[in-house]
Amino acid sequence: MSNMNRQWTLAGRPSGFPEESNFSLVESAVPDPGDGEFVVKVEAWSVDPYMRGRMNAQQSYSAPVELGAVMEGGTVGRVVASKHSDYAEGDTVYGKFGWQEYGLCDGTGAYKVDPDFAPMSAYLGVLGMPGLTAYFGFLEICKPKEGDTVFVSGAAGAVGALVGQLAKIHGCRVVGSAGTDEKCAYLVSECGYDAAFNYKTDTDYVAKLKELCPNGVDCYFDNVGGAITDAVLVSLNDFARISICGQISQYNLEKPEMGPRLVWALLVHQSKMEGFLVFRWLERYPEGIKQMGEWVKEGKIKYREDIIDGFENMPKAFIRMLHGENKGKQSVRA
Amino acid sequence: MSNMNRQWTLAGRPSGFPEESNFSLVESAVPDPGDGEFVVKVEAWSVDPYMRGRMNAQQSYSAPVELGAVMEGGTVGRVVASKHSDYAEGDTVYGKFGWQEYGLCDGTGAYKVDPDFAPMSAYLGVLGMPGLTAYFGFLEICKPKEGDTVFVSGAAGAVGALVGQLAKIHGCRVVGSAGTDEKCAYLVSECGYDAAFNYKTDTDYVAKLKELCPNGVDCYFDNVGGAITDAVLVSLNDFARISICGQISQYNLEKPEMGPRLVWALLVHQSKMEGFLVFRWLERYPEGIKQMGEWVKEGKIKYREDIIDGFENMPKAFIRMLHGENKGKQSVRA
């Protein structure tokens, strides 16, 4: 075990899409655990869209990462030293240790995972934040009913691919949008989507929704925002439920984009739009992990991962994910 | 009793604000009731913002009024002839008889009201659709809690003035916007609002909300939409609830107005926005009328009416209400 800890820190705040120069690779000593603490050697790091928001100076849904601070993020690794009564050397744990090779923790935000049930990377994806986001954010807010039509934007992302499968488990018709023909084919052939369209080439979204959701939209799980959401709003059925998981089309803008005012659509269709952060259901995570794990074992939920090797490639992995170049849940392996 | 029935019909579809020339006053015979029907001589007519939507050719939340058809609307009157077992001559009833002096009904959408408890016009206001809209639309969707800050747009309207009082009954701080200084004074002096501002003269809505809602907005009851709603969205507290009752700023536009995309605000504040039509709670109307009536008797809810005499003045009353010239619930008395 090396006694140096490599860390990716925030070197500068991007305007628009981040670049590798926004990050610095620095070294520091591996920390020693104090009483009630443990140290984890990270073996897998998640990169996720929300991290883009943390790079801005202004408050988003949590505080920004300070310049010079380690980038935040979810990770899985093994305990290598412990003075914490609940964690022993060799335990496999999930924790928000961020973009570094060793993390120090007092137990806050951490939980043990079973490395024999699924590979570590799964606890960053289908059995981690994206899986829990799909499970709670779709089922609790959209409350899908058999026969409902569900539309998912950003459907080929780590969360969207799972939402479609949850919709099928609940007897819905499910349609998605994604940014390449290959992703659309993946949604239909592997994720059980009934239909999908490429939003970059099929740009009349209202017409496309009319074609693929001929009975209107009952549930909308939105990762993207912008013009696709506009089109869904004018395609709603009465009492539709919209779960706002992300607004990735808006994250890299210098200032808020203008769009047509469409609140009237919620009024005339008596529909509900609700934003959420998965942490709201923190106390129910064990339920979500157990149920998603069972569906994975039963073959009802499939997942795809896009794993890049090497901690030094964290910024690269993050940026390609923001550009939509990943195929499945993007993570980095030590 | 005259045996002619005067009716206001839709003569033409307005673009922008309606004009009197959009309506025609026509005469027809007073209908005779068939088996299971009764005839009502209307004594009070409601005019409401939603009627503007019915004048458009395209479907809003219900079908448009056809050209040449009688304008729709809620009314209160007395049964003058009946072959319906539940309704006898002399009964006072609420019904959607529209802009005409006599209405024929098989009981659908009608219910008896007590003329000794409140004047007929009250059943078009505080104990009618506006009162029920405030009662269910605010309490069921915003779910106000003691100590919450509630903001109401269009606060001096028939619904808004009641929402503020309901908020006070529930222990909230309540702030509203209205279109004249006089209306703002009325909100504070008579409706129990803690503060109100004139949106036509105080145009930095974000700054005004910061001043009047220093702890942020927990509940928003929106009658107006547009720029005021934009300002509220960036002033939300976490887990805020927004009830969309109307979008009066948008009804008279030729095409959808553009505005900043602000769905991200629902995401970062984990907030909910829901549109409703009061008919959703039709089966619970008796509960709402009873509770609002009790609060009126206890002096906890006050209301103001703006009554114009003469059926011939229906279009005038409707148009002045759309321009915000009424003071309290606008209705017309025979």
Chain B: give the shortest CA distance to residue A46, in Å. 21
pLDDT at A2: 53
Q: For residue A250, name the pLDDT band (cuts at 50, 70, 90).
A: confident
The reply to whether B226 touches chain A by the CB within 8 Å rule is yes
Chain B: give the shortest CA distance to residue A138, in Å. 14
pLDDT at A134: 98
- Which range among A50-64, A225-239, B106-120, B298-312 shows the weakest confidence by mean pLDDT? A50-64
pLDDT at B256: 78
Chain A positions in Cβ-Cβ contact with residue B272 (cut-off 8 Å):
272-275
Burial state string for B171-205 with b = 16 or more CB within 10 A and e = fewer than 16: ebbbbbbbbbeebbebbeeebbbbbbbbbeeeeeb
What number is the average pLDDT over the span A91-108? 96
**Dist. CA B27–CA B100, nearest whole Å:** 9
Q: Is the pLDDT of residue B59 over 70?
A: no
Q: Please, which residues 65-84 of chain A have a Cβ atom closer than 8 Å to chain B?
A: none
- Closest residue in chain A to residue B267, using alpha carbons only: A275
Q: Is the pLDDT of residue A139 over 60?
A: yes
**Dist. CA B223–CA B204, nearest whole Å:** 19
Q: Report H helices in A30-172.
A: 50-54, 129-142, 160-169
Q: Is the pLDDT of residue A1 over 60?
A: no
Q: What are phi and psi of B146, to 5 degrees?
A: -55, 135
Instruction: Give ∠ CA B47-B10-B43 in degrees, rounded to 5.
Output: 40
Cα dihedral A302, A308, A309, A313, rounded to 10, equals: -150
**Dist. CA B243–CA B222, nearest whole Å:** 6
The reply to whether B248 touches chain A by the CB within 8 Å rule is no
CB-nearest partner of A275 from B247, B258, B270: B270
**Between A and B, how many CB-CB pairs are < 8 A?**
114
Q: Is the pLDDT of residue A221 over 50?
A: yes
CB-nearest partner of A257 from B222, B261, B267: B261
CB-nearest partner of A263 from B225, B260, B269: B225
CA dist list (Å): B2 to A88, A228, B5, B80, B95: 93, 58, 8, 12, 21
Tell me whether residues B266 and A244 touch, CB distance under 8 A: yes
The reply to whether B252 touches chain A by the CB within 8 Å rule is no
What number is the average pLDDT over the span B251-273? 89
CB-nearest partner of A267 from B247, B261, B265: B247
Tell me whether residues B256 and A262 touch, CB distance under 8 A: yes
Query: Which residues face B94 on adjacent strands?
Result: B76, B111
**Dist. CA A326–CA A319, nearest whole Å:** 10
Residue matched to tokens 């009162």: B131
CB-nearest partner of B266 from A259, A270, A275: A275
Q: For residue B1, name the pLDDT band (cuts at 50, 70, 90).
A: very low
- Select from B136, B122, B150, B157 the least CA-distant residue to B247: B157
Q: Is the torsion defined by CA of A50, A262, A228, A174 positive or negative?
A: positive
Residue matched to tokens 């109100």: B196
Residue A8 structure tokens: 């990716």
Tell me whether residues A268 and B260 touch, CB distance under 8 A: no
Chain A positions in Cβ-Cβ contact with residue B260 (cut-off 8 Å):
256-259
**Dist. CA B303–CA B295, nearest whole Å:** 11
Q: For residue B60, name the pLDDT band (cuts at 50, 70, 90).
A: low
Tell me which DSSP letter residue B217 carries.
Answer: E
Q: Is the pLDDT of residue A162 over 80?
A: yes
pLDDT at A326: 87
**Dist. CA A324–CA B187, nearest whole Å:** 52
Tell me whether residues B225 and A261 touch, CB distance under 8 A: yes
Which domains are present in chain B?
4-125+303-333 (3.90.180.10), 129-279 (3.40.50.720)
**Dist. CA B322–CA B324, nearest whole Å:** 5
Chain B positions in Cβ-Cβ contact with residue A60 (cut-off 8 Å):
268
- Closest residue in chain A to residue B264, using alpha carbons only: A247
pLDDT at B218: 98
Residue matched to tokens 């980095």: A332
pLDDT at A117: 87
Chain B positions in Cβ-Cβ contact with residue A261 (cut-off 8 Å):
225-226, 247, 250, 256-259
Q: Is the pLDDT of residue A229 over 50?
A: yes
Q: How far is CA B300 from the centre of its chain?
A: 20
What number is the average pLDDT over the span A202-208? 97
Q: For residue A256, name the pLDDT band (cuts at 50, 70, 90).
A: confident
- Select from A239, A227, A243 the least CA-distant residue to A151: A243
pLDDT at B130: 93
pLDDT at B117: 87
CB of B64 within 8 A of CB of B56?
yes
Tell me whether residues A264 and B247 touch, CB distance under 8 A: yes
pLDDT at B2: 53
Tell me whether residues A259 and B261 touch, CB distance under 8 A: yes
The reply to whether A206 touches chain B by the CB within 8 Å rule is no
What number is the average pLDDT over the span A204-210? 98
**Dist. CA A262–CA A205, nearest whole Å:** 15
What number is the average pLDDT over the span B166-192? 96
Q: Is the pLDDT of residue A311 over 70?
A: yes
Tell me which DSSP letter residue A98 carries.
Answer: -
Q: From the CB of residue B214, how many other CB atoms can be counted at a distance below 10 Å?
A: 9
Q: For residue A188, name the pLDDT band (cuts at 50, 70, 90).
A: very high
Mean pLDDT over each residue of chain B, to the nearest integer: 94
How much is the ipTM here? 0.87
Query: Which residues face B330 on adjacent strands?
Result: B306
Q: Report H helices in chain B.
A: 50-54, 129-142, 160-169, 181-190, 205-212, 227-233, 248-251, 263-268, 285-297, 314-322
pLDDT at B162: 97
Q: Please, which residues 86-145 of chain A have a Cβ atom closer than 8 Å to chain B?
A: none
pLDDT at A3: 75
Chain B positions in Cβ-Cβ contact with residue A267 (cut-off 8 Å):
61, 244-247, 275-277
Q: Considering chain B, what percentage of its residues have pLDDT values greater than 70? A: 98
pLDDT tens by residue, A54-87: 999 876 667 899 999 999 999 999 999 999 999 9
Residue B106 structure tokens: 């098989």
Q: For residue A120, name the pLDDT band (cuts at 50, 70, 90).
A: very high
Q: From the CB of residue A35, how many other CB atoms can be counted at a distance below 10 Å?
A: 8
pLDDT at A50: 87
Q: Report H helices in A213-313.
A: 227-233, 248-251, 263-268, 285-297
Amino acid at B17: F
